[in-house]
Amino acid sequence: MASEIVKCIECGKEHSTSDIVYTCSGCGNLLEVSLPLRELDTETVRSAFDSRPLGVWRYREMLPEIACGPVSMDEGGTPLHRCSTLSERLGVAELYIKFDGMNPTGSFKDRGMTVGVSKAVDLGVRKVACASTGNTSASLAAYAGLASLRCVVIIPSGQIALGKLSQAMMHGAKVLAVRGNFDDAMELVILAGKELKLYVLNSVNPFRIEGQKTAAMEVCDQLGRAPDTLVIPVGNGGNSAAYWKGFSEYRQVGLTDAVPVIYGIQAEGAAPIARAFERGEERIDPVKEPETVATAIRIGNPANWKKTIRAIKSSGGTSITVTDEEIIEAQKMIARTEGLFVEPAAASSIAGLEKLLERGTVDSDQRIVCVATGHGLKDPDSAIRNSEKPVEIDPDMESLRAALGS
Amino acid sequence: MASEIVKCIECGKEHSTSDIVYTCSGCGNLLEVSLPLRELDTETVRSAFDSRPLGVWRYREMLPEIACGPVSMDEGGTPLHRCSTLSERLGVAELYIKFDGMNPTGSFKDRGMTVGVSKAVDLGVRKVACASTGNTSASLAAYAGLASLRCVVIIPSGQIALGKLSQAMMHGAKVLAVRGNFDDAMELVILAGKELKLYVLNSVNPFRIEGQKTAAMEVCDQLGRAPDTLVIPVGNGGNSAAYWKGFSEYRQVGLTDAVPVIYGIQAEGAAPIARAFERGEERIDPVKEPETVATAIRIGNPANWKKTIRAIKSSGGTSITVTDEEIIEAQKMIARTEGLFVEPAAASSIAGLEKLLERGTVDSDQRIVCVATGHGLKDPDSAIRNSEKPVEIDPDMESLRAALGS
């Protein structure tokens, strides 16, 4: 039986899955996990998957082997919400929101962390670390707690949303706030990983991508087929690459017959990948001072840019930008028409879809899935800043009538 | 075929389910929905339930009829997390946390709201309202948005957690902050309901309890039987009564053979029900100025006190108090050992279990379920206040080493 390996996406160099390695030891490029999927029988895996509830470990035959058993807390299995009022408003036939904010720590990061932290336990490490705009640190801190590992998280000082900060702190991680931005934090954690022997669970870690790819498989199972179009926020670029890998491998195993066209949405002030598409180039110019209300995608130098550009290109899609105003408007619209409270970065996919429809890039008769990566509770401050303020009243009917104008 | 009715828990007076009525039109006492459960065949409902995913509407044969189809967004179906490190630490054989913070709006309230708002649509109302310590308003605002109903929420000014406030605002509810406490807000909304023809979806609304009871049924299905012991936070008293109704009806239909002993946990500074148990009385003395870090259960005059005292007594349990310090300690312990971030009120069940074990009220060899009612992201401020602060560093290895002491 062929076994799983970790392979460089550029030079193809193979690494053992038991080595602690984040980038290619030959050329320094990104790595990905390569599994012996050819050995899988379609009918056998189909019936194995169907016998388990929806969630990351439903797909264990298509995930890296974990000898110690998974470190898991019911991640994945999130709703594929069929939009009704919102579909009408946007004039599309069939629109779904994959609401990954309903993971245990409130974001899609849990899908990757259950695999990444399980792998850490398998490797026998005792200390884990990450740099984060907030969601990754929240998720790593939680899974490290569950696995009794020590955890260090490095965040850009003053730049992460309140909910996310409270999570890393409550789960007992050592929280270091660097005077700098996310890209500075990222550089530092890579260095710290080497010098202090911390296992680094950033999105360049190929095992995390394995967990994240299950979202694509869930979408196929929930719809009974792959969608035509997937619209997804792009920050560090890991998740769009993960979706593409998930759809592609599901097709390879014979569990779906198509891969959707993937559109990557970036915030206007942090859009190195969208700019690369505009220029028609396959490489990015990093943005020095990324700025957007969508803190989860405020990233100027995305670590996975090469993977995500390839993924989006291979699918036949592109990457575009949306403004902060469009993001906030979309966030409100989703909350008010569909009852789903998503964080600003997550709302960028709906904002992006509106633009893609206007431009005629996406047709209204397609089966469209927008990915909502994180829960709105992650960033209460931004929601409060952008909403109508509560009206203070005395506890009597007169004051109440006056406030309601009735 | 017998049909469903709404019945007074005290005088037994029957009301039609199509009447808008919150308390008995005869004696003013609490109402409950009575369903024709005797007509259900055990095998038939068992196989119907098994054919659907876990969640509120899995149990539709045991829920009120909704003519218009449910207003739903995948509420319920929450994890029953088996505790490992925490079980060892508390010295118990089998401990589970029912993590209802993983509902769409982050609390158990969604279970009740999907039924309550569906009923509102059935009744043809266009405006809904509630008083709330935060979670109810978040949930009602979300479901009202989904159902395109106008929504008014009345909260005690300055007393609700940040996350919850952001939800009501983002979902587009009209938020009125009364200068007073929750009990004042509750009185006002009842009045407003009558005078302004708002459909009131507080926990006295018997249809909400119907949705909430499904958590008990899920626990039975997840465990394969009822637990021996259920430990649950008590604020307004609706949820403990709902669990008891759920277990009892599941037994009545033949889907489980036992009802667990229910222990209701209250915060020291807001404990009218625990005090009633201490005095051995079946009535409460309201607490004028309730005070606790667990804002979700900061209620001095619980509307459902009669139902909850009956439920706890019937199950053979009791109600005890925990201090704010014990609540915060429990919250940290759950986050750090099990990876689950629960809000302070939710942590009171684990804090209470510790006390019940110490006192020998609960045996360590029992199968124990603690209910975690809401997600920690609901109250980031409290988590940050009670955790170790982040350490500010410069983006270099020297600063990092100094901060880690390595």
Q: What is the pLDDT of residue A319?
A: 98
Please report the pLDDT score of residue B2 as a whole number: 63
Instruction: Output the tens digit of pLDDT for each of chain B's 406 residues.
Output: 468 999 999 999 999 999 998 899 999 999 999 999 999 999 999 999 999 999 999 999 999 999 988 999 999 999 999 999 999 999 999 999 999 999 999 999 999 999 999 999 999 999 999 999 899 999 999 999 999 999 999 999 988 888 999 999 999 999 999 999 988 999 999 999 999 999 999 888 999 999 999 999 999 999 999 999 999 999 999 999 999 999 999 999 999 999 999 999 999 999 999 999 999 999 999 999 999 999 999 999 999 999 999 999 999 999 999 999 999 999 999 999 999 999 999 999 999 999 999 999 999 999 999 999 999 999 999 999 999 999 999 999 999 999 998 7
Residues of A in contact with B394 (CB under 8 A): 178-180
Q: Is A6 helix (H, G, I), strand (E, B) or coil?
A: strand
Cα separation, A135 vs B103, whole angstroms: 19
Q: How far is B182 from chain A (nearest CA, A)?
A: 10
Radius of gyration of chain A (CA): 21
Q: How confident is the model at residue A2 (pLDDT cuts 50, 70, 90)?
A: low
Between β-strands B391-393 and A174-178, what pairing exists: parallel, antiparallel or unpaired?
A: parallel
- In a 13 Å sphere around the CA of A200, the CA atoms on its Cβ side amount to 25
Residues 6+ apart with CB under 8 A from B398: none
Q: Which of B247, B245, B241, B249 is nearest to B259 (CA)?
A: B247
Chain B CB contacts of A126 below 8 Å = none
- A125 min Cα distance to partner chain B (Å): 17
CB under 8 Å to B281, separation ≥6 — which residues? none
Question: H or E element: which one contains A353?
Answer: helix A344-358
d(C-alpha B130, C-alpha A136), whole Å:
36
User: Comparing C-alpha atoms, which of B229, B273, B267, B287 is closest to residue B347?
Assistant: B267
Question: Are B179 and A394 within 8 A, CB to CB?
Answer: yes
Which of A44-48, A187-191, A343-347, B338-342 is predicted with the least confidence, judged by mean pLDDT? Answer: A187-191
pLDDT for A160 equals 86
Structural class in CATH, domain A80-106+208-385 = alpha beta
Residue of B nearest to A396 (CA): B188
Q: Is the Cβ pair B74, A54 closer than 8 Å?
A: no
| Residue A196 reports pLDDT greater than 60 | yes
Mutate which of A341, A378, A381, A401 to test chain B, going by most B C-beta atoms within 10 A? A341
Is the CB of B338 less than 8 angstroms away from the CB of A73?
yes
CB atoms A381 and B340 under 8 Å: no
B235 and B248 Cβ atoms separated by less than 8 Å = no
Query: Alpha helices of A235-289 — where are they, by DSSP H?
Result: 238-252, 272-279
Q: Assign B166 to helix, strand or coil.
A: helix
> What pLDDT score was predicted for residue A202?
87
The shortest CB-CB distance from B390 to any of A177, A380, A392 is to: A177
For residue B121, which residues of chain A lie inside 8 Å, CB to CB? none
Chain B positions in Cβ-Cβ contact with residue A400 (cut-off 8 Å): 154, 176, 188, 192
Amino acid in the structure at residue A268:
E
User: Which of A82, A132, A222, A336 is the mutation pick for testing B, counting most B CBs within 10 A?
Assistant: A336
What count of residues does chain A have? 406
Closest CB from B171, B340, B400 relative to A73: B340
Closest CA–CA distance from residue A264 to any residue of chain B (Å): 25
| Residues in A touching B400 (Cβ below 8 Å) | 154, 176, 188, 192
Per DSSP (E only), the strands in B224-297 are 229-233, 261-267
Chain B residues with CB-CB distance to A184 below 8 A: 395
ipTM value: 0.95
Residue A43 to residues A34, A53, A58, A248, Cα–Cα distance (Å): 21, 18, 15, 18
Q: What is the mean pLDDT of residues A354-369?
A: 97
**Range A144-160 average pLDDT:** 94
Q: Which of B106, B175, B394 sits opposite A390 (nearest CB)?
A: B175
Residue A261 in this model has a pLDDT that exceeds 90: yes
* Cα(A248)–Cα(A213) distance, integer angstroms: 10
- The ranges assigned to domains in chain A are 1-34, 80-106+208-385
pLDDT score at A159: 85
**The whole model's pTM is what?**
0.96
* Chain A residue with minimum CA distance to B404: A174
Q: What is the rounded distance in angstroms from the CA atom of residue B95 to the CA atom of residue B231?
A: 11
- Find out whether B231 and B318 touch, Cβ atoms under 8 Å: no
